[in-house]
């Protein structure tokens, strides 16, 4: 089966968050099952495009309303990835040193139109078009409604919602940017008086998946305005838990970390990484080290960190390390804490892939007090590296972490994203750390949990197969 993933991010080409990890791993696993999965994504001006050579395989011109733009489809000269990636280069719009910004409407529309224009020239169309998040949400609409893409009406397509908080809204004033379609159907684009690419995709895609079963259920009650739509479309929606790329995330072979280790050598290995972190960030090595990695946004509960960290650090019984960026106010508060808690707290405000790996390996506990967490990959990386996750039981966190008080439990869970509950959970971690035999036992146990893509990749293939059957009916 041939599958074309359409996405704004893909690791290691361009990564802002978990979307990149998924699109960088799922095709690999699908290919290893005898399929041909490919990715099409924008050509950005970033380290990856600067450090690799590309050549153009197609030159075209796309229209955004009355304005036309030249574009090329580029491919890598050599093949450093485990699957084919096609890059859409629209020099005037997409070739920027950022992935997302204020001009997303025009940029991602151009990306989607160029992708489909080029696809029209293929000899054999893909069996499945798999779209990811709102940046590609107009693809299912255009496949179904745009006159110029009539040849694609039969291609099964699906949408994966990685995060329904972001929907790509824009005004109906810009409807003319979308290639002509039967205007009687303009309502398919609309949600709440605006053009809403995520809503349009939920309406038009043949199937909709979310990245965990629990998140699918939660969306019916909390989907940033799309609750009733998701409830109405629930028959075509299904939750498939994300996996992780166990080749990239392997403490035994990870080139980013200070000392590699296996389940057998986790104590020495993880401690060497912890030591490095404590030396680098001036932290007390003897205390349990709690870490957070991620975007500093409301969904992740990051606005509560300044107070949570202060409460925890005032007891002088733990160290804290944060890696992330986002809300400038939160960033400033987290910076300010540094002088107050020298020797037990530090923060790196920014993005650093290598450092994230060392933290997964060297921290004792990973905090994820998310208000919303569609799946969450960080807790799965933490488990693989023997770091105990402390999570709020929601979305994918609920599906992947069992509290230590339960049978076969291995993590610390709390019900709500409140300062009190997060601090209580941290205190439970401090207590657990004092009981070193139990702590070490859990560490070893969690490294055994299999969250590789193997099972979920097959679930996707099975789902694609049901769509192919629908087409043949």
Binding positions for ADP-alpha-D-glucose: 15
Of residues 381-420, those binding ligand ADQ (CB under 6 A): 396
The answer to whether 86 and 99 have CB atoms below 8 angstroms apart is: no
The answer to whether 95 and 41 have CB atoms below 8 angstroms apart is: no
Does residue 376 touch ligand ADQ according to CB under 6 A?
yes
**Interface with ligand ADQ by CB under 6 A: which range of 116-124, 351-359, 383-391, 432-440?**
351-359
As a dihedral over the C-alpha atoms of residue 187, residue 188, residue 194, residue 196, rounded to 10 degrees, the angle is: 180
Of residues 11-30, those binding ligand ADQ (CB under 6 A): 17-19, 21-22
Alpha-carbon gap, residue 430 to 399, rounded angstroms:
24
- Burial-class residue 450 by CB neighbours within 10 Å (0-12, 13-18, 19+): exposed
Q: Exactly one of 5, 134, 162, 398 binds ligand ADQ (CB under 6 A); which one? A: 162
- The residue assigned the tokens 């479309």 is 233
User: Smallest distance, Å, CB 377 to ligand ADQ?
Assistant: 4
What letter does residue 33 receive in the DSSP assignment?
A: T
Residue numbers belonging to the annotated binding site: 15
The answer to whether 2 and 126 have CB atoms below 8 angstroms apart is: yes
**Interface with ligand ADQ by CB under 6 A: which range of 219-227, 256-264, 374-382, 417-425?**
374-382
Task: Between 148 and 295, name the residue whose CB sits nearer to ligand ADQ.
Answer: 295
Does residue 457 touch ligand ADQ according to CB under 6 A?
no
What does the per-residue mask of binding to ligand ADQ show for 102-141, with x meaning CB under 6 A? ----------------------------------------
Question: Please, which residues have CB within 8 angstroms of residue 209's CB and are 6 or more apart in sequence?
Answer: 158, 159, 160, 161, 237, 238, 239, 240, 460, 463
Does residue 366 touch ligand ADQ according to CB under 6 A?
no
- For 282-340, strand residue ranges (E) read 289-296, 319-326
Does residue 293 touch ligand ADQ according to CB under 6 A?
yes
Q: Exactly one of 30, 356, 423, 456 binds ligand ADQ (CB under 6 A); which one? A: 356
Alpha-carbon gap, residue 331 to 135, rounded angstroms:
27
Alpha-carbon gap, residue 128 to 116, rounded angstroms:
13
User: Smallest distance, Å, CB 322 to ligand ADQ?
Assistant: 9
**Interface with ligand ADQ by CB under 6 A: which range of 34-42, 96-104, 190-198, 347-355?**
347-355
> Taken in order 18, 409, 449, 353, is the CA torsion positive or negative?
positive
Task: Between 90 and 390, name the residue whose CB sits nearer to ligand ADQ.
Answer: 390
Name the nearest CA neighbour of 208 among 168, 235, 236, 169.
236
Does residue 353 touch ligand ADQ according to CB under 6 A?
yes
Of residues 209-268, those binding ligand ADQ (CB under 6 A): 211, 242
- For 275-403, strand residue ranges (E) read 289-296, 319-326, 345-349, 365-368, 388-392
Alpha-carbon gap, residue 146 to 181, rounded angstroms:
4
Does residue 374 touch ligand ADQ according to CB under 6 A?
yes
Q: Exactly one of 7, 112, 136, 163 binds ligand ADQ (CB under 6 A); which one? A: 163
Name the nearest CA neighbour of 411 among 376, 377, 445, 436.
445
Task: Between 330 and 375, name the residue whose CB sits nearer to ligand ADQ.
Answer: 375
**Interface with ligand ADQ by CB under 6 A: which range of 229-237, 371-379, 406-414, 432-440?**
371-379
Q: How are the residues of the chain apportioned to helix, strand and coil, as percentages rounded to the nearest 5?
A: 45, 20, 35
What letter does residue 180 receive in the DSSP assignment?
A: P
Does residue 324 touch ligand ADQ according to CB under 6 A?
yes
By rule CB under 6 A, what count of residues binds ligand ADQ?
26
Q: Exactly one of 323, 334, 432, 457 binds ligand ADQ (CB under 6 A); which one? A: 323
Does residue 195 touch ligand ADQ according to CB under 6 A?
no
Alpha-carbon Rg of the chain, whole angstroms?
Answer: 23
Task: Between 24 and 42, name the residue whose CB sits nearer to ligand ADQ.
Answer: 24
User: Smallest distance, Å, CB 28 to ligand ADQ?
Assistant: 15
**Interface with ligand ADQ by CB under 6 A: which range of 145-153, 191-199, 304-312, 352-360?**
352-360
Q: Which residues bind ligand ADQ (CB under 6 A)?
A: 17-19, 21-22, 162-163, 211, 242, 293-295, 323-325, 351-353, 356, 373-378, 396
């Amino acid at each position: 089966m041939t599958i074309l993933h359409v996405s704004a991010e893909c690791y290691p080409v361009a990564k802002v968050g978990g979307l990149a990890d998924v699109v960088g791993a799922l095709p690999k696993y699908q290919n290893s099952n005898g399929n041909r999965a490919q990715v099409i994504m924008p050509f950005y001006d970033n380290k990856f495009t600067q450090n690799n050579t590309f050549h153009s395989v197609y030159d075209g011109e796309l229209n955004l309303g009355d304005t036309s733009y030249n574009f090329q489809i580029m491919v890598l000269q050599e093949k450093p990835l485990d699957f084919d990636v096609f890059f859409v280069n629209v020099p005037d719009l997409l070739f920027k040193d950022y992935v997302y910004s204020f001009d997303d409407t025009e940029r991602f529309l151009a990306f989607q139109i160029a992708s489909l224009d080029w696809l029209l020239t293929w000899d054999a169309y893909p069996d499945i078009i798999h779209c990811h998040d709102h940046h590609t949400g107009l693809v299912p609409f255009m496949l179904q409604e745009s006159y110029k893409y009539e040849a694609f009406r039969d291609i099964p397509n699906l949408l994966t919602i990685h995060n329904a908080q972001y929907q790509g809204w824009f005004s109906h004033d810009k409807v003319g940017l979308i290639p002509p379609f039967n205007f009687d159907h303009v309502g398919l684009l609309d949600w709440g008086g605006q053009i809403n690419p995520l809503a349009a995709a939920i309406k038009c895609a043949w199937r909709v998946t979310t990245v965990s079963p629990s998140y699918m259920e939660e969306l019916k009650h909390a989907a940033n305005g799309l609750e009733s739509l998701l409830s109405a479309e629930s028959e075509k929606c299904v939750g498939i838990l994300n996996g992780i790329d166990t080749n990239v995330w392997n403490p035994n072979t990870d080139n980013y970390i200070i000392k590699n280790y296996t389940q057998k050598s986790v104590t020495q290995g993880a401690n060497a990484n912890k030591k490095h972190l404590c030396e680098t960030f001036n932290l007390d090595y003897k205390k349990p080290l709690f870490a957070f990695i991620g975007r500093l946004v409301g969904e992740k509960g990051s606005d509560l960190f300044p107070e949570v960290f202060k409460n925890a650090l005032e007891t002088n019984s733990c160290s804290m390390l944060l890696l992330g960026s986002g809300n400038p106010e939160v960033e400033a508060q987290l910076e300010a804490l540094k002088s107050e808690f020298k020797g037990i707290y530090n923060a790196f405000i920014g993005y650093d892939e290598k450092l994230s790996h060392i933290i997964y390996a060297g921290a004792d506990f990973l905090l994820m007090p998310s208000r919303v967490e569609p799946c969450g990959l960080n807790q799965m990386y933490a488990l693989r590296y023997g770091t105990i996750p402390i999570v709020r039981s929601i979305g994918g966190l609920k599906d992947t972490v069992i509290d230590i008080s339960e049978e076969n439990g291995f993590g610390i869970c709390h019900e709500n994203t409140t300062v009190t509950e997060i601090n209580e959970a941290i205190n439970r971690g401090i207590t657990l750390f004092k009981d070193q035999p139990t702590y070490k036992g859990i560490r070893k146990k969690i490294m055994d949990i299999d969250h590789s893509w193997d099972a979920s990749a097959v679930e996707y293939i099975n789902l694609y197969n049901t769509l192919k059957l629908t087409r043949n009916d």
